[in-house]
């Protein structure tokens, strides 16, 4: 039976899809069988971040309509054979699938995978409830800005109402900028922790590498020379698996960044 996570946020554009792709890729590269489900029907883009958009034949909509078996709709990753994507239709709408449909889909594939990550759409309407219905744990993504944090609080509240215990809700702070915190221009990790009173499972710095990787359709975890982000994301994966890996401190996050910059500058001069 797979462990099923939903990756959600309330606010749009905070990095759900990016993190789904990258956490899933790292899990798979460690040998786990991983399925990623794009629940953002009508606004899909998990396939693009994974570089799989040209391999889609069927979507979850076809499965729900009884046109194909769910295993016929799953798309395998090119390099990582144990990473699969259940694509979302771009022409359907979120109302055409129900929470029960999603539960059914997940229960059908659950035995064949170790981990399932569901990429939730922004908002708290039907799409949100579809994505959350089959999940047993939730990863809530926020950026260090007040509107994103307020929305994260709202979503955590809804998850609690849906009987998720706080221990099953994990927070990732994405697009963190250590130098801004140092200058007092950004909320600190402690500020966010006390605002949300929920366990933080990872802090992901803001990084141009993410944009480069996204545009190439290659998850960071599979790109050469991206060890810094790779390590940070790997830490999150290990923590999800229950390992006691400390979260890098502000200093460490910053240190690594300047180390990486110096390294690059060195190359430029050559």
Partner 1 sequence: MGNVDLRMTKRGVVLYIEEYDDLDDLFVQITNKFSQLNGFFAEDDKISVMLKDKEKHSKDITEIISFIEKMGFKVGEILVGEMSQNVKQKTLSVKEKLSLVDEEDKSRMNPTKVIKKTVRSGQAIVHDGDVMLIGNLNDGGEIIAGGNVVVIGEARGVIRAGSRGNEEAIIYAVIMSPELIQIANYVIHLNEPVVNAIGYVRNGKVLVERFDTVKFGQVMNHRE
Residues that bind partner 1 (CB under 8 A): 126, 150-151, 153-154, 156-158, 160-161, 195-197
Q: Site residues (CB under 5 A) for Mg ion?
A: 16-17
Could you tell me which of 97, 106, 92 has the C-alpha nearest to residue 36?
106
Q: What minimum distance in Å lies between the beta carbon of 268 and ligand ATP? A: 22
Contact of residue 220 among ligand ATP, Mg ion, partner 1, none (CB under 5-8 Å per partner type): none
Contact of residue 175 among partner 1, ligand ATP, Mg ion, none (CB under 5-8 Å per partner type): ligand ATP
Given a contact cutoff of 8 angstroms between Cβ atoms, the answer to whether 78 and 116 are in contact is no
3-state secondary structure of 250: helix
Q: Whole-angstrom Cα distance, residue 107 to residue 211? A: 34
Q: What minimum distance in Å lies between the beta carbon of 62 and ligand ATP? A: 22
Q: Site residues (CB under 6 A) for ligand ATP?
A: 9, 12-18, 40, 121-122, 174-175, 204, 206-207, 210-211, 214
Residue 158 to residues 2, 5, 80, 132, 138, Cα–Cα distance (Å): 24, 16, 35, 10, 11
Q: What minimum distance in Å lies between the beta carbon of 197 and partner 1? A: 5
Contact of residue 158 among Mg ion, ligand ATP, partner 1, none (CB under 5-8 Å per partner type): partner 1
Q: What minimum distance in Å lies between the beta carbon of 34 and partner 1? A: 31
Q: Pick between residue 40 and residue 62 the one whose CB is nearest to ligand ATP.
A: 40
Q: Whole-angstrom Cα distance, residue 251 to residue 46? A: 32
Please state the length of the chain: 270
* Residue 61: its H or E element: helix 60-64
Residue 221's region, left for phi above 0, alpha for psi from -120 to 50, else beta, is alpha
Beta bridge partners of 205: 176
Contact of residue 178 among Mg ion, ligand ATP, partner 1, none (CB under 5-8 Å per partner type): none
Q: What minimum distance in Å lies between the beta carbon of 174 and ligand ATP? A: 5
Q: Pick between residue 36 and residue 155 the one whose CB is nearest to partner 1.
A: 155
Question: Among positive and negative, which fits the CA dihedral 103, 125, 26, 251?
Answer: negative
Contact of residue 140 among Mg ion, ligand ATP, partner 1, none (CB under 5-8 Å per partner type): none
Give the count of beta carbons closer than 10 Å to the beta carbon of residue 212.
13
Instruction: Tell me 247's DSSP state.
Output: P
Q: Closest residue (Cβ) to Mg ion? A: 17
Q: Pick between residue 134 and residue 205 the one whose CB is nearest to ligand ATP.
A: 205
Q: Whole-angstrom Cα distance, residue 154 to residue 18? A: 22
Q: What minimum distance in Å lies between the beta carbon of 45 and Mg ion? A: 6
């Amino acid at each position: 039976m797979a462990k099923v996570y939903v990756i959600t946020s309330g606010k749009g554009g905070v990095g759900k899809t990016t993190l789904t792709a990258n956490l899933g890729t790292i899990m798979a590269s460690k040998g786990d069988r991983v399925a990623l489900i794009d629940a953002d029907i009508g606004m899909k883009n998990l396939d693009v971040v994974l570089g799989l958009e040209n391999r889609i034949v069927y979507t979850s909509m076809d499965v729900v309509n009884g046109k194909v078996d769910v295993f016929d709709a799953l798309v395998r990753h090119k390099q990582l054979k144990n990473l699969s994507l259940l694509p979302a239709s771009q022409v359907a709408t979120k109302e055409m699938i129900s929470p029960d449909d999603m539960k059914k889909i997940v229960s059908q594939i659950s035995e064949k995978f170790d981990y399932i990550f569901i990429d939730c759409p922004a908002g708290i309407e039907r799409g949100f409830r579809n994505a959350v219905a089959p999940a047993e744990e939730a990863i809530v993504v926020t950026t260090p800005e007040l509107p994103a944090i307020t929305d994260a609080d709202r979503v955590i509240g809804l998850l609690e109402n849906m009987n998720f215990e706080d221990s099953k809700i994990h927070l990732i702070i994405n697009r963190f900028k250590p130098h801004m915190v140092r200058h007092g221009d950004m909320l600190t990790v402690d500020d966010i922790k006390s605002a949300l009173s929920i366990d933080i499972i990872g802090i992901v710095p803001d990084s141009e590498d993410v944009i480069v990787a996204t545009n190439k359709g290659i998850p960071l975890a599979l790109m050469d020379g991206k060890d810094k982000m790779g390590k940070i994301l790997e830490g999150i994966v290990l923590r999800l698996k229950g390992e006691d890996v400390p979260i890098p401190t502000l200093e460490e996050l910053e240190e690594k960044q300047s180390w990486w910059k110096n390294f690059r500058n060195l190359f430029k001069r050559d």
